[in-house]
Structure 1
Amino acid sequence: MASINYRLKTNSEWNSIYIRFKQGGFDSEVSTGLKVPKNRWSKSKQEVLGTIKVNSVKLNIKLKELKNYIFKEFEEAKTEGTIISTKWLREKIAAFLNTETNNTDIDEKIFFVNFIDLYIKKSHTRKTKKNTPVAKRTIQHYETTKRKVQSLENKINKRLKLTDIDLDFHSAFLIHLRDDQHLKDSTIGGYIDDVRSFCRNADNKGIKVSNDFKLSEFFSPGYETNDIYLTTKEINKIYETKIENKKLDNAKDWLIIGLYTGLRVSDLTKLTKKDRDEEFIYKKTHKTKFPVIIPIHKHVKETLEKRNNNFPKSLSDQKFNDYIKDVCKLAGITEIVEGAKMCPMEIEENGKKKIIHRKKDGKFPKYELVTSHTCRRSFASNLYGKLETLTIMNITGHKTESQFLDYIKITPKEYAVKLKGYWEKHKDLFD
């Protein structure tokens, strides 16, 4: 029969409490990490004596709970055929007391952040379902999710275990990201998706986790993005606008090419002469590795001819985003519309004020809402209804029609105008 006892090995000013676990031929002694002051331990009572140096009542309760926990885990281990070892004992003590053992193999199976570190490390060599490497941007997102979890740990002053990732965690994480981090649900949803992936991977490895991540209540919040697109009329205004500033003119040309190709900025501004012939642009996309072939629109052809058939000078994503707002302002894209843009806001963190930037919904001049992604969204939205949806999807790389329809930005009023135009064009059919 198993037995558990506590004892001290030293008689110093402060002394570690050791736990001795005996069962059959197994006999092991491990430090709990808990300490008591000199001469305040009762061997016979197996408890801490009253002292002003520690909360003896609370510490004695913790020792009793640990003892019961080890017995419970031992009974469960017997049914599962688990080998009882010193490593097993250290792991159980660490799990109960929320402390690290400094043994990577053990800590990765107990603490959520430690497991995330392992998941990230393996992602550098892991392959996707398509047998391609995990994208660098995906790994960066895992890192950000880890930092958000650590931020919650700092707030609640607790190391989270894999078994803590339950519905209570889900609720606390949502509140923290919304109220403390001031993030939108569209961003939060990506972090919850990562958390579920981490838990699923741990579960598949046979690591003990809370099964709450499988419940529908452990949801990724949805959010209707408030993004704009440029109409064909507005695109023509931009194209016809003469710009003297060389940097802005360079950005304008990239904007025109982006609006007629639907490429992500990571692919767009990397285009070179070798990516095109007289009729088409050929590009293997950076994010999805999906090869696309796009016919060269006459405005793109004229833009390239203006530059001796070369693409504009490459520029950073940030400068492109900054410059095209100025380009659209010069082109008169100044209508006040509903949308969302990054705005500075002052918050207090750890008693200190700091400025962060978050997306804010509201009504703004349209040029302020234009970003590099407006190119891709405008391309898809302007072609929808004029070409087969599958044809557009093959260029944009959307895998399902539902994804594509969520992506395009056509308002109910615009759909109504399309229907009105159709009726007027074919009024003889409805007389």
Structure 2
Amino acid sequence: MANAFFRLRKSKSKDPEMIYLGYRFGQDQLIYSTGIKVLPKHWDFTKSRVKNVVEVWDKDDINAFLRGLTDFTNSVANTYKARREDLTKQLLKRELDNYIKPPKAEEQIKFFDFFEKLIIDLESGKRLLDNNKIADPKTIQRYRTAKNSLQEFEQYRIDKLNESVLHFDHWTEQLWNEYISYLTFVKSFKVNNIGFYQKQLKIVLKAARKAKLYTVGEWLEDVKILAETPVDIFLNKSELLLIETLDLSNDLKLDRVRDLFFIGCYTGFRISDWKQVSKDNIKSTREGNKYIEIIPEKANATHPSTPLHSKVVSILDKYDGRLPIISEQKFNVYVKDLCKLAGIDEKVTTKYVIAGRVKIDQVPKYSQVTSHTARRSFATNEYLDSVPVHLIMKATGHTTERNFLKYLKLDNSGAVDAMAKHKDKSKGDKLAINGSL
């Protein structure tokens, strides 16, 4: 439980009062001066923050500092607790002194130097992700991609706007919006791509604030990461049959991609978990039914289990129980080639925002297939086969029906067929009941 709090010495004074940080040690407590004063009438005693009043022109900076001080204090307490060491008032005061003492000018770390150090620390395991997990190569690459984008943005500002190199203090709400504008109109990125770069930048700025290299206003907490719902697809059983009947005897690469794709289509597992599909994870129920159960890599994901499909068995036999390994990036390229070769070229409509305008395109279906299409195909085809939703969710690992329903990718014709099939089943059930009477 967080024990850090703030208070003023005199709550009814008409003069500025010092803001003190307090931390409780059971019956004892540390009272530590933040060095910042505020008029009690400008202090929100409920939220322990400076009120949103025009009289306090630097309220955003003060509140950001207090927020960072709270995070730091609680993180120190958690670190000592994890080490099973006693945190004393003297130790906490020393930690706070080191935190609040501003670094010398020559020791100030540059924006991109900090970014690179963050990446290196993630690679080495010195810095862990929020779930206390070591960053995988895919996560590291995301940060490097974001850093490259920001360096391009810096060069653009230097060349086109005659601006100086980027520093931490440059990152105001105005510059944040300039970066979004650059990604939107100069780079012509789609909304979800822009959101990706926003997310990485926000993480870096918050890390710098925690390291006391950067003071940021409340605007960073309020920024909205841009996102739009993509046009997701699934492959029906007829399309899967087209892929299955392809002669790939002369193309071992696509043959392996097909096998892996079918693993996803007939288990419903994520691509990160396909490597766990092995004979070691095959179990039997009390009635003798075979199923696969895995422990997912994704943080906080539930353990999915799915009935063992004959196609999965034949693929495992083909590779002596050890599936081939391929990066998700390469897989998403090759699976499009596979589906194109199978003739899955029906036109689908995509709608997205680019350069600030809505654009609607007709593209071949194979161009939209990714590793996630396999998972969506499993869920949707099982649903069309009238498998109850709560049972499909056991296979996909979804814990809420709301999130699961996002995976059902029925177009208009698919929805009509599903309704017709449901009505036929209901009609059959009624006939059976009437007949039994």
| TM over 0.5, shorter chain | yes
Equivalent residue letter for 1:336: K
CA distance in 1, matches of 2:399, 2:201: 24
Please list the CA deviations of residues 234-280 of structure 1 after superposition, one character each: whole Å capped at 9, or x if unmatched: 22343344544351433322222221123333443675554546833
1:212 pairs, out of 216, 219, 222, with 219
Q: 1:170 to 1:264 in 2, by over 3 A?
A: same
Please list the CA deviations of residues 165-214 of structure 1 after superposition, one character each: whole Å capped at 9, or x if unmatched: 23212221112112333322112112212222333344445541233212
2:348 pairs, out of 332, 337, 342, with 337
Q: 1:425 to 1:377 in 2, by over 3 A?
A: closer
The Cα of 1:324 is off from its aligned counterpart by 3.6
Pair 1:300 & 2:301 matched: no
Q: 1:316 to 1:125 in 2, by over 3 A?
A: closer
Greater Rg over alpha carbons, structure: 1
| Higher RCO, 1 vs 2 (CA within 8 Å, ≥6 residues apart) | 2
Please list the CA deviations of residues 92-135 of structure 1 after superposition, one character each: whole Å capped at 9, or x if unmatched: xxxxxxxxx4x2xx22xxx5434434443444333445433344
In the other structure, the counterpart of 1:411 is 411
In the other structure, the counterpart of 1:245 is 250
1:222 pairs, out of 215, 223, 227, with 227
CA distance in 1, matches of 2:255, 2:146: 38
Tell whether the 8 Å contact from 2:306 to 2:394 is kept in structure 1 after alignment.
no
Equivalent residue letter for 1:299: K
Q: 1:387 to 1:166 in 2, by over 3 A?
A: farther
Identical positions, percent: 30
Stretches of structure 2 that go unaligned for 5 or more consecutive residues are 1-60, 62-68, 70-95, 159-163, 285-289, 353-358, 431-437
In the other structure, the counterpart of 1:364 is 363
The Cα of 1:226 is off from its aligned counterpart by 2.1
CA distance in 1, matches of 2:184, 2:228: 13
In the other structure, the counterpart of 2:127 is 126
CA distance in 1, matches of 2:330, 2:206: 39
2:185 pairs, out of 159, 166, 179, with 179
1:200 pairs, out of 175, 200, 206, with 206
Tell whether the 8 Å contact from 1:252 to 1:327 is kept in structure 2 after alignment.
yes
- How is 1:109-120 mapped onto 2 (pairs within 5 angstroms)? 111-120=110-119
SS in 2 for 1:426: helix
SS in 1 for 2:138: helix
Tell whether the 8 Å contact from 1:337 to 1:363 is kept in structure 2 after alignment.
yes
Stretches of structure 1 that go unaligned for 5 or more consecutive residues are 1-72, 74-79, 92-100, 342-359
Q: 1:136 to 1:404 in 2, by over 3 A?
A: farther
Equivalent residue letter for 2:346: E
| TM-score, normalisation: structure 2 | 0.58
CA distance in 2, matches of 1:222, 1:204: 26
Tell whether the 8 Å contact from 2:305 to 2:397 is kept in structure 1 after alignment.
no
CA distance in 2, matches of 1:319, 1:141: 16
Tell whether the 8 Å contact from 2:131 to 2:299 is kept in structure 1 after alignment.
no
Please list the CA deviations of residues 384-430 of structure 1 after superposition, one character each: whole Å capped at 9, or x if unmatched: 4745555544544556554444454333553344334434543598x
Tell whether the 8 Å contact from 1:112 to 1:160 is kept in structure 2 after alignment.
yes
In the other structure, the counterpart of 1:382 is 381
Count of residue correspondences: 312
Q: 1:191 to 1:405 in 2, by over 3 A?
A: farther
Equivalent residue letter for 1:211: E
Q: 1:313 to 1:203 in 2, by over 3 A?
A: closer
- Cα-Cα RMSD: 4.0
CA distance in 2, matches of 1:271, 1:426: 37
| TM-score, normalisation: structure 1 | 0.59
